[in-house]
């Protein structure tokens, strides 16, 4: 997706430790016109796939998921990061490790909002080690629903989240896959299958 | 806004302690068609008001702000809740009390994303005691920008956030103002100025 890759090349900053700062357009300030292009592209890639619900995780997935939902005409559910030890019986929960913050937290979704038989499209801004997305897939399984696929804006292709999700049988569509990056070299993308 | 009030009457639950559960359509599962009606209504109410940026706060304001931004053609910035004591120099920060969780946290926005001279529309799902929204207004002031107004989906009119924000000179547009509520009586709205 050229418009996205160009934006990453022009407006991101690579820091030491495999950190890519895209806060000017993706996950702090949000360019809604770009989000519409992203939503349209997810709809194109998942055309013909039944989707009854979109599931994302707070906070930075929410905006992309809401704009994308307009192209699927389905509701969005965002999983919450629960930092307390209290879990009620009316939620699905799974533990997710955060390597960024060297901690772990529970991801929860109210049972009312993922139903048996739902076909759930997972949406998130980043895929790196895949822990958050695996947590969302776990919740969908707990609900006896199915994962229609996962739509990711930026995949760090040099981390193993992508291969772990594909090994699990999840159809993964990442709009920009980074092959490698460094403060000196910047971002180098993996070749895309169909470039727009 | 009749469509919103009807939805609240039909799909919300009032719990003890002035808690209104609207997770089925507003702040856990999100009805994007309703969000578009909300965005359109904010655009109608703030017609003619210059808006260069929308500012909201994670997590439940983000979806409403992103859909609303499509009617203003401006970027959205979401303030982050910072739970650590570390603050870098490149962020605006203000402390916000959370009565719900009996704690306080810093709300932060990177300085790059609110500029001097910006006319900033604040958007959030709820207004109760107004602490979060006052924090957003503080950040706008720190940036030497101005608050164009505040668009709120549900105002708890029996709490003092609304009067405090209006006393500060902020134009407040709440789409549904709750006069009182209880588990027994349910929700009773204050009369609206112009009902759609």
pLDDT band at A1 (very low <50, low <70, confident <90, very high): very high
> Residue B126's pLDDT band (boundaries 50, 70, 90)?
very high
Question: Is there a domain that residue B195 lies in?
Answer: no
ipTM: 0.96
Indicate the residue of B28, B76, B110 with minimum beta-carbon distance to A32: B76
Domain that holds residue B176: 2-188
Write a three-state SS string for A81-128.
EECCCCCCCCEEEEEEEECCCCEEEEEEEEHHHCCCCCEEEEEEEEEC
| Selected residue of A24, A63, A92 to mutate for chain B interface (largest B Cβ count, 10 A) | A63
Residue A195 lies in a domain: no
Question: What integer pLDDT is reported at residue B100 of this predicted model?
Answer: 72
CB contacts of B35 in chain A (<8 Å) are 66
SS3 state at A121: strand
DSSP-assigned letter for residue B80: E
How big is the A-B interface in CB pairs under 8 Å? 95
- Asked whether the beta carbons of A62 and B59 are under 8 A apart, the reply is yes
Rounded distance, CA A32 to CA B75, Å?
A: 6
Q: Do B63 and A62 touch (CB under 8 A)?
A: yes
B131-166 pLDDT, tens digit per residue, is 999 999 999 999 999 999 999 999 999 999 999 999
Nearest to B29 among A29, A63, A75 (CB): A75
From chain B, pick out residues whose CB is under 8 angstroms from the CB of A112.
Answer: 23-24, 29
Distance from CA of A169 to the nearest CA of B (A): 26
B113: chain A residues, CB-CB within 8 Å? 23-24, 28-29
**A interface with B, Cβ–Cβ below 8 Å:** 23-24, 28-33, 35-36, 58-59, 62-63, 65-67, 69-70, 73-78, 80, 109-110, 112-113
The per-residue pLDDT for range B85-115, each reduced to its tens digit, is 677 889 999 999 887 778 899 999 999 999 9
Whether residue B129 lies inside any domain: the answer is: yes
Q: What is the pLDDT, as a whole number, of residue A74?
A: 98
- Reported as a pLDDT band with limits 50, 70 and 90, residue A103 is confident
**Residues of B with CB below 8 A from A62's CB?**
59, 62-63, 66
What chain A residue is nearest to B75 in terms of C-alpha separation?
A31
Residue B126: which of B55, B51, B64 has the closest Cα?
A: B64
Does the bond joining A79 to the residue before it have cis omega, within 30 degrees of 0?
no
- CATH code of A102's domain: 3.40.50.2020
Question: Minimal CA–CA distance to A123: which of A147, A151, A162, A81?
Answer: A151
Do the domain assignments include residue B63?
yes
Q: Do A113 and B78 touch (CB under 8 A)?
A: no
**Antiparallel, parallel or unpaired: β A146-156 and A172-182:** parallel
Tell whether B113 is covered by a domain.
yes
Q: Among partner residues A76, A110, A112, which is closest to B30 by beta-carbon distance?
A: A76
The lowest-confidence range among A78-87, A106-115, A170-179 is A78-87
CB B134 within 8 A of CB B165: yes
DSSP string, chain B: -HHHHHHHHHH-EEETTTEEE-TTTTSSEE-HHHHHHHHHHHHHHTTTS--SEEEEETTTHHHHHHHHHTTTT--EEEEEEE-SS---TTEEEEEEEETTTTEEEEEEEEGGGS-TT-EEEEEEEEESS-HHHHHHHHHHHHTT-EEEEEEEEEEETTSSHHHHHHHTT--EEEEEEEEEEETTTEEEEPPPSS--
pLDDT for B59: 96
H helix or E strand, kind and range, residue B75: none
CB contact under 8 Å between B63 and A77, yes or no, is no
Question: Averaged over A129-148, what is the pLDDT?
Answer: 97
What pLDDT is recorded for position A136? 98
Contacts of A88 in chain B (CB under 8 A): none
> Which uninterrupted H or E stretch holds A160?
none
Q: Which pLDDT does position B102 carry in this prediction?
A: 83
User: So what's the pLDDT on residue A194?
Assistant: 57
Name the helix (H) or strand (E) containing A128: none
Is B42 within a domain?
A: yes
Percent of chain A exceeding pLDDT 70 equals 96
pLDDT band at B1 (very low <50, low <70, confident <90, very high): very high
pLDDT digits (tens, 9 = 90+) for A41-66: 999 999 999 999 999 999 999 999 99
Provide the shortest C-alpha distance from residue B135 to chain A (in Å). Answer: 17
Give CA–CA dist B68/B39, Å, rounded.
4
Q: CA-CA distance, B35 to B41, in Å (whole number)? A: 10
Give the nearest chain B residue to A69 (CA atoms). Answer: B32
What pLDDT shows up at residue B111?
Answer: 97
CA B35 to chain centre: 13
Give mean pLDDT, residues B49-69.
Answer: 98
Contacts of A32 in chain B (CB under 8 A): 66, 69-70, 74-76
| pLDDT digit string, tens, across residues B20-44 | 999 999 999 999 999 999 999 999 9
Predicted pLDDT of residue B195: 59
Number of domains in chain A: 1
Please provide the average confidence, as pLDDT, over all residues in chain B.
95
pLDDT band at A195; cut points 50, 70, 90: low
3-state DSSP: chain A helix, strand, coil percent, rounded to 5?
30, 35, 35
| Residues of A whose CB is below 8 A from B78 | 28, 30, 59, 63
Residue B56 lies in a domain: yes
**Partner residue facing A58 (CB), from B33, B58, B67:** B58
């Amino acid at each position: 997706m050229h418009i996205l890759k160009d934006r990453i090349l022009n407006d991101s900053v690579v820091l030491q430790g495999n950190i890519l700062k895209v806060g000017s357009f993706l996950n702090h300030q949000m360019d809604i016109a770009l989000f519409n292009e992203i939503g349209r592209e997810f709809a194109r890639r998942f055309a013909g796939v039944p989707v009854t619900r979109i599931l994302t995780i707070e906070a930075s997935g929410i905006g992309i998921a809401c704009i994308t939902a307009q192209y699927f005409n389905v509701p969005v559910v965002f999983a919450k990061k629960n930092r307390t030890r209290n879990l009620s019986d009316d939620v699905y929960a799974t533990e997710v490790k955060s390597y960024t913050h060297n901690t772990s937290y529970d991801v929860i979704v109210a049972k009312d909002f993922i139903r048996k038989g739902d076909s759930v499209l997972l949406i998130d801004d980043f895929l790196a080690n895949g822990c958050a997305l695996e947590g969302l897939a776990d919740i969908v399984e707990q609900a006896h629903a199915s994962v229609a696929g996962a739509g990711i804006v930026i995949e760090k292709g040099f981390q193993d989240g992508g291969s772990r999700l594909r090994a699990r049988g999840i159809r993964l569509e990442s709009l920009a896959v980074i092959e490698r990056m460094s403060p000196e070299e910047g971002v180098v993308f993996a070749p895309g299958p169909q470039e727009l």
